[in-house]
């Protein structure tokens, strides 16, 4: 689960859907970047789905490869979402049939000056940090295949993957540039859910939408949340552990908590 904090506002969930397409729901649509506005669609769902935002990537000719402009647009979209106090869940998916994302745009990368590569990778890494729970269809294919190009994963893959599936298995996948399907990914713990693909190719998106609908009603408004926090905090005020923590801090020593 991803907590995107902006001042006192939290977006409680981002679901990354490794499956193309989103269909039909009534929504307010926003575009980013006037010169490439069709590459990123932002849909603010309404009605019963109010509070859910769908980010759709649409670079069919590049197989949704991540370039500088897409990173810029996605950062703009995320910042707008963080400022919207009505947003509770975000779904990131592809609008290109059969494709989620081919990774970095290597054609653009080949034209970059050496001095541009580092900053771009850093910004892409920061963007990936914004992503949370993963959902895939069972036929989705995913992998860190950078070693086939004489490079290594640069957007955080060497650090995130071993934290999710363990160091040994992460080494195997990265060194061998192995590609796994959705079922294998779920077995490894790489994705949270793997669903049987349907005829329209949007099974993972529909599952993500179900999850968002389940989670949204559980979120309380800010004033209620602060009241709950105050009630919980009042319970720790009379404890011996609280006093021990303050004493240890003052005396610059490790606290000895007893659960009292």
**Entry pTM:** 0.68
Cα–Cα distance between 50 and 216 in angstroms, integer? 9
Can you give the residue ranges of every domain in the chain? Answer: 13-142+179-214, 144-178, 222-251
CATH number of 13-142+179-214: 3.90.226.10
Residue 133: the pLDDT is 57
Tokens 């729970």 appear where? 133
The answer to whether the CB of 14 falls within 8 A of the CB of 55 is: no
* Three-class SS of 196-260: CCCCCCCHHHHHHHHHHHHHHHHCCCHHHHHHHHHHHHHHHCCCHHHHHHHHHHHHCCCCCCCCC
The answer to whether the CB of 173 falls within 8 A of the CB of 42 is: no
133 to 70, 117, 165, 195, 200: CA distances (angstroms)? 21, 28, 14, 14, 23
Q: What tokens does 111 get?
A: 């034209």
Residue 222: the pLDDT is 74
Q: What tokens does 92 get?
A: 């990131």
Tell me: the pLDDT tens digits for 50-60?
Answer: 889 999 999 99
pLDDT 10s per residue in the chain (260 long)? 232 323 333 444 556 666 555 555 545 555 444 445 689 999 999 888 988 999 999 999 999 999 999 999 998 888 888 888 888 888 888 898 888 888 889 899 899 999 998 998 888 888 887 766 568 788 888 899 888 888 888 888 899 899 989 999 999 999 999 999 889 988 998 888 888 888 888 888 888 889 888 888 776 677 877 888 888 889 889 999 999 999 999 999 999 998 88
Tell me: the pLDDT tens digits for 33-90?
Answer: 444 568 999 999 988 898 899 999 999 999 999 999 999 999 888 888 888 888 888 8
Cα–Cα distance between 232 and 83 in angstroms, integer? 27
| DSSP state, residue 37 | G
| DSSP state, residue 43 | E
Cα–Cα distance between 175 and 148 in angstroms, integer? 9
Residue 134: the pLDDT is 61
């Amino acid at each position: 689960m991803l907590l995107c904090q902006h001042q006192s506002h939290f977006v409680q969930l981002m679901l990354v859907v490794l499956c193309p397409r989103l269909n039909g729901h009534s929504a307010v649509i926003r575009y980013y970047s006037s010169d490439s506005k069709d590459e990123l669609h932002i849909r603010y769902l309404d009605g019963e789905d109010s509070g859910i935002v769908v980010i759709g990537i649409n670079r069919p000719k590049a197989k949704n490869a991540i370039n500088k402009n897409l990173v810029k647009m996605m950062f703009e979209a995320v910042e707008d979402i963080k400022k919207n106090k009505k947003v509770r869940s975000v779904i990131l998916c592809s609008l290109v049939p059969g494709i989620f994302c081919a990774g970095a745009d290597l054609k653009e990368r080949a034209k970059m000056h050496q001095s541009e590569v580092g900053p771009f990778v850093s910004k892409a890494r920061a963007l990936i940090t914004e992503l949370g729970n993963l959902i895939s269809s069972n036929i989705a294919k995913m992998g860190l295949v950078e070693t086939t190009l004489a490079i290594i994963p640069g957007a955080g893959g060497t650090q995130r993957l071993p934290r999710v599936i363990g160091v040994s298995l992460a080494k195997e996948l990265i060194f061998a540039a192995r590609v796994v399907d959705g079922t294998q990914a779920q077995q490894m713990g790489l994705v949270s859910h793997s669903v049987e693909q349907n005829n329209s190719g949007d099974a993972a998106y529909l599952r993500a939408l179900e999850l968002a609908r389940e989670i949204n009603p559980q979120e309380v408004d800010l004033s209620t949340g602060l009241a709950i926090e105050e009630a919980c905090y009042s319970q720790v005020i009379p404890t011996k552990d609280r006093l021990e923590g303050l004493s240890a801090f003052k005396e610059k020593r490790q606290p000895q908590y007893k659960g009292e």
